[in-house]
Amino acid sequence: VEFLYCDLASMKSIRQFVQQFRAKNCPLHVLVNNAGVMLVPERKTEDGFEEHFGLNYLGHFLLTNLLLDALKQSGTHSHNARIITVSSATHYVGKLHLNDLQSRCSYSPHGAYAQSKLALVLFTYRLQHLLTANGSHVTANVVDPGVVNTELYKHVFWVVKLVKWMTAWLFFKTPEEGASTTIYAAVSPEVEGAGGCYLYNEERTNSADVTYDEELQRRLWTESCKMVGISDEASRLP
């Protein structure tokens, strides 16, 4: 195991990480996008992005795009390279505010978190569409890990923390259990060659209806490219 530092809340750090990784000339068979914050107070990343949207979504968007060439070179017809992005059931109640992705008009920790998780699902579906259109041997899927007992809940109200402490053993998954669907998406032969899936408890299921809106997927992708400063070559594809 080798560790390379990457701060998903920093566009500069992401670019530096990708440069370091490329310098190693290593193949890239699996990319898991799993970083995240939840219900943080209103604050910005060093690039000026609202933290939920900047870290949970834009960081992964930029990282994935910068590593796409390595993934495409590593995938083969019989063994596709795989991109797994971790979202949340919270996306079902999320709303994407294309005119205010930074939640400047009205900030809600719950709304900002749900929007970032919704954006990850839309991103995954658009990415799979583009990979298929390019004939790439890379698949992109999105995972719902369930309710997992981790430090992600440190910003919730104290009453919720108390209830969590009392009931976690009964209602929450352990981190190992929470990781099972991500691992399934990364290595299982059952999903070889299958992309654009929403996976929960190691099974394919439907995400929110709005996530299948291809025009919304396209618009979010284009806006995201502008925000992170990369070329939107995909806009020329159907």
Residue 36 φ then ψ, to 5°: -175, 155
The catalytic residue among 5, 92, 107, 113 is 113
Structure tokens at 92: 């079902």
The CA distance from 102 to 117, in Å, is 14
Residue 54's Cβ-count burial label (10 Å; 0-12, 13-18, 19+) is buried
Bridge partners (DSSP) of residue 199 are 143, 204
Residue type, 1: V
| Long-range interactions of 93-102: CB distance < 8 A, separation 24+ | 94/118, 94/119, 94/208, 96/122, 96/210, 96/216, 96/220, 98/216, 98/219, 98/220, 98/223, 101/50, 101/53, 101/223, 101/227, 102/49, 102/50, 102/53
For this structure, is 200 an active site residue? Answer: no
- Helix orientation angle between 11-23 and 59-74, rounded to the nearest 10 degrees: 20
Q: Rounding to the nearest 10 degrees, give the CA dihedral for residues 36, 42, 48, 49.
A: 40
Residues forming the active site: 113
